[in-house]
Structure 1
Amino acid sequence: MGVKVVRPYLPLKALRAFEASARHLSFTRAAEELHVTQAAVSHQVKLLESQLKVPLFKRLPRGLMLTQEGELLLPVLKSSFDQISHTLDRVGESSYREVLHVGVVGTFAVGWLLPRLADFQAKYPYVDLRLSTHNNRADLAGEGLDFAIRFGTGAWHATAAQPLLPASLSVMCTPEIATRLNTPADVLGETWLRSYRADEWTEWLLAAGLPGSFPMTNSIVFDSSIAMVEAALQGAGLALAPPLMFPRQLNSGALVQPFDTAVSLGGYWLTRLQTRPETRAMASFREWLLTAINN
């Protein structure tokens, strides 16, 4: 019977150092890739050569050349490391869920995001999405948010902002109220439902060809477009809100747009702190969001 040769334990660091050096044919570039010193890479390769009892490189004045043994070993190690990396990615996706905290202005959450969440979860099951709604006032740092989706012009201090959707504002009301609105001037005799921004109605009046300086004595202020539109559904008055976020109410005929006039004072933005590095879950959510919006 033959004698079985027992190979010495080969350190993973040494194998990784050889594989990187062989791909680059340089200890220096391998060290940069592995984030260690050139001396450390050279030491690990020498350790491997010592344990295998064969040279793997020919050291040349201007670089390295693989020996016959090195050429034999490189493709095996490269394939093995690639398979390990691929398997770890798959294991990570199935067993590890990365938490993602997203604050969303209520109007966008109800009108756009919630109907599409099932698609996101199906495509990115490793993301443990935690949603909180707000009335357009989000404290990214204080609330520990990875992202905040909010309405505005994109100018928030120390914040990176990416545009998502425009949000032109238009008058919406019940069909019954609409029968009384023959011209834009007829809105002056109705109750105005508005946000805390008084200039929204002013800008709409100007866009409709009317003076914008009418007193707002007959108005109700809301901190949420969702509540405002619900009031409009109940016949409380005229809502000035983004029709894009209320397709169900408009498509069903419960609300109508009596005029084509619309005014744009901002849009929806995906925001994060400039100092917040983007995680894998953040990148997945951002890419999914932009793809869904553009399709």
Structure 2
Amino acid sequence: MSMLSSSMMVWLRSFEAAARHANFTRAAAELCVSQGAISQQVKNLEGALRRPLFVRASRSLSLTPEGERLYAVAHDSFRSLDLTLSQLRASQNREEVTLSCSPSFAMVWLTPRLGNFFRTCPGTHLKIQGEFHRLDLLQLHRQGLNAAVRYDLGRYEDLEAKPFLDEWLLPVASPKFLEQHPELKTPAQLKPQWLLHDSSPWVGAGEYEEWEFWLEQAEVGIGELELGNTFNLSLLALAAAANGQGVAMGRAALVLDDLVSGRLIDIFKLSVPSVASYAFITPPDADDSVQKVEMWLQHEAREFRDSCRYHLPHLK
């Protein structure tokens, strides 16, 4: 006779949350019940199994060997259920694609091109969410996302990451800033207090990652990068540069229009290929509507590369 009664399922859910958090209070907050309810449900489970699942100390909570064995199975089972339920809910409308996209890229590169997408794929409704946290398959489905665009190093375990656009790094500043600093002719003349930083160009990147990489490739060492101003979005650093506040590390996809208009200046005409690139992130079983978005992005990326080569012929 099966032990999986309705009461047992409730007890197992409480046990799994308590074991994952190693804390009854945090488990209670997640499941929207009281701490006492979690404690009682775990006790009920231990009573039904006739063995303890936790070692309870005054300030700690740890699993017994039997508890560890049960947690491994319960965690995988609830995760699989959650993933399947999310997939079933998402599959109700296959012609609506919700795309998570890095905010700076979404605002500068993607949004101006959406008109082309709607003309090319009139039957597909594309929704954009600006965010840059790293994703896995479960997060993708929990958030109701069909795909994502990320600027990073790739390396996704349970998602497919298909690069569609390489990136180049090039220092940029406003005409006003360069007028105020006519001595700035070579990379070696940069001062650390002038530099504007994107503190997190991709998840896991260092605070000065892009500037450090560009300076290394340019064979220049200026030190004390922390003297420059730091922003949590590349777009903010570029806005500061456009307003004459310093020199930002530009990415071609984000600065080309400003370079063509003259709002920003490519100071040294020295571009460096970035170690990161833009990739289209999807689950392994992406449907036709998601593939339409990917094909459109690949097309737009090819046209953008041609435009870059025309306006920035020095790109490597």
Matched, 1:238 2:247: yes
Q: What's the offset of the Cα at 1:143?
A: 1.9
Aligned match of 1:193: 196
Q: Distance in 2 between matches of 1:230 and 1:118?
A: 25
* Counterpart residue identity of residue 199, structure 1: E
Q: Distance in 2 between matches of 1:225 and 1:235?
A: 16
Matched, 1:163 2:139: no
String of CA shifts for 1:207-226, please: whole Å, max 9, x gaps: 222136x1223212222111
Residue range with higher mean Cα deviation, 257-266 or 229-238: 257-266
Q: Distance in 2 between matches of 1:278 and 1:151?
A: 20
Q: Distance in 2 between matches of 1:152 and 1:280?
A: 25
Structure having the higher Rg: 1
Aligned residues: 197
Aligned match of 1:118: 115
TM-score normalised by structure 2 residue count:
0.58
Name structure 2 gaps, 5 residues minimum: 1-92, 200-205, 304-316
Aligned match of 1:221: 230
* Counterpart residue identity of residue 210, structure 2: E
Name structure 1 gaps, 5 residues minimum: 1-95
Q: Secondary structure at the match of 1:141?
A: helix
Q: What's the offset of the Cα at 1:137?
A: 4.1
String of CA shifts for 1:113-166, please: whole Å, max 9, x gaps: 112111111121211111111135454234221111010122123221111111
Which of 268, 278, 281 pairs up with 2:286?
Answer: 278
Q: What's the offset of the Cα at 1:270?
A: 0.5
String of CA shifts for 1:187-236, please: whole Å, max 9, x gaps: 12542111223222111111222136x12232122221111111111111
CA 1:199 to 1:149, structure 2 compared with 1: closer, same or farther past 3 Å? Answer: same
Aligned match of 1:267: 277
Q: In the alignment, is the contact (CA less than 8 A) between 1:135 and 1:224 conserved in 2?
A: no
String of CA shifts for 1:54-107, please: whole Å, max 9, x gaps: xxxxxxxxxxxxxxxxxxxxxxxxxxxxxxxxxxxxxxxxxx982111011122
Q: In the alignment, is the contact (CA less than 8 A) between 1:135 and 1:223 conserved in 2?
A: no
Q: What's the offset of the Cα at 1:284?
A: 1.2
String of CA shifts for 1:225-276, please: whole Å, max 9, x gaps: 11111111111111012023222211111110111223312111101233xx
Q: In the alignment, is the contact (CA less than 8 A) between 2:97 and 2:125 conserved in 1?
A: yes
* Counterpart residue identity of residue 237, structure 2: M
Q: Distance in 2 between matches of 1:180 and 1:243?
A: 25
Q: Distance in 1 between matches of 2:241 and 2:234?
A: 10
CA RMSD of aligned residues (A): 2.0
Q: Distance in 1 between matches of 2:290 and 2:171?
A: 35
Aligned match of 1:154: 154
Q: Distance in 2 between matches of 1:136 and 1:153?
A: 13
Q: Distance in 2 between matches of 1:137 and 1:234?
A: 31
5 Å matches for 1:1-80?
none
Q: In the alignment, is the contact (CA less than 8 A) between 2:196 and 2:247 conserved in 1?
A: yes
Q: In the alignment, is the contact (CA less than 8 A) between 1:102 and 1:147 conserved in 2?
A: yes
Q: In the alignment, is the contact (CA less than 8 A) between 2:192 and 2:224 conserved in 1?
A: no
TM-score normalised by structure 1 residue count:
0.62
Q: Distance in 1 between matches of 2:240 and 2:216?
A: 24
Aligned match of 2:218: 208
Q: Distance in 1 between matches of 2:177 and 2:219?
A: 21
Which structure features the higher share of helix residues?
Answer: 2
Q: Distance in 1 between matches of 2:196 and 2:176?
A: 16
